[in-house]
Amino acid sequence: MARFNYLNAALLALTFQSTLAFTPTKLNSPRPTSLQVSATQPFSLDEYLLSKKGPIESALEASVKSRIPQTDKICESMSYSLMAGGKRIRPVLCLAACEMFGGTEEMAMPTAVALEMIHTMSLIHDDLPSMDNDDLRRGKPTNHVIYGEDVAILAGDAMLSTSFEHVARYTKGVSADKILDVIARMGKSVGAEGLAGGQVMDLECEGKPGTTLEDLKWIHIHKTATLLQVAVASGAVLGGASPSEVEACEKFAMNIGLAFQVADDILDVTASSEDLGKTAGKDEATDKTTYPKLLGLEESKAYARQLIDEAKECLAPFGDRAAPLLAIADYIVDRKN
Residue 214's pLDDT is what? Answer: 94
CATH code, residues 2-22+51-68+88-107+172-334: 1.10.600.10
- How far is residue 192's CA from residue 238's CA, in Å, rounded to a whole number? 25
Which has more pLDDT, 289 or 5?
289
Residue 275 has pLDDT above 70, yes or no: no
User: What are the two backbone dihedrals, phi and then psi, of residue 57, each rounded to the nearest 5 degrees?
Assistant: -65, -40
Q: Based on C-alpha coordinates, what's the Rg of the chain?
A: 19
Residue 276 has pLDDT above 70, yes or no: no
Residue 1 has pLDDT above 70, yes or no: no
Residue 212 burial (CB count, 10 A): 11
Task: Tell me the pLDDT of the chain averaged across its residues.
Answer: 87
Strand-pair partners of 137: 140
CB 288 within 8 A of CB 236: no
With 0-12 / 13-18 / 19 or more C-beta atoms within 10 angstroms meaning exposed / middle / buried, residue 109 is: buried
- How far is residue 119's CA from residue 90's CA, in Å, rounded to a whole number? 8
54-58, 161-165, 208-212: least confident range: 208-212
pTM comes to 0.84
Which has more pLDDT, 29 or 312?
312
State the average pLDDT over residues 108-113: 98
Confidence of residue 167 (pLDDT cuts 50, 70, 90): very high
- How far is residue 159's CA from residue 119's CA, in Å, rounded to a whole number? 9
Confidence of residue 31 (pLDDT cuts 50, 70, 90): low
Query: Cα separations (Å) of 312 from 3, 181, 265, 308?
Result: 36, 25, 22, 6
User: What are the two backbone dihedrals, phi and then psi, of residue 296, each rounded to the nearest 5 degrees?
Assistant: 90, 160
Helix axes 89-100, 226-239, angle to 10 degrees: 30
Residue 40's pLDDT is what? Answer: 52
Residue 224 burial (CB count, 10 A): 23
CB 288 within 8 A of CB 206: yes
- How far is residue 209's CA from residue 82's CA, in Å, rounded to a whole number? 36
Residue 298 has pLDDT above 90, yes or no: yes
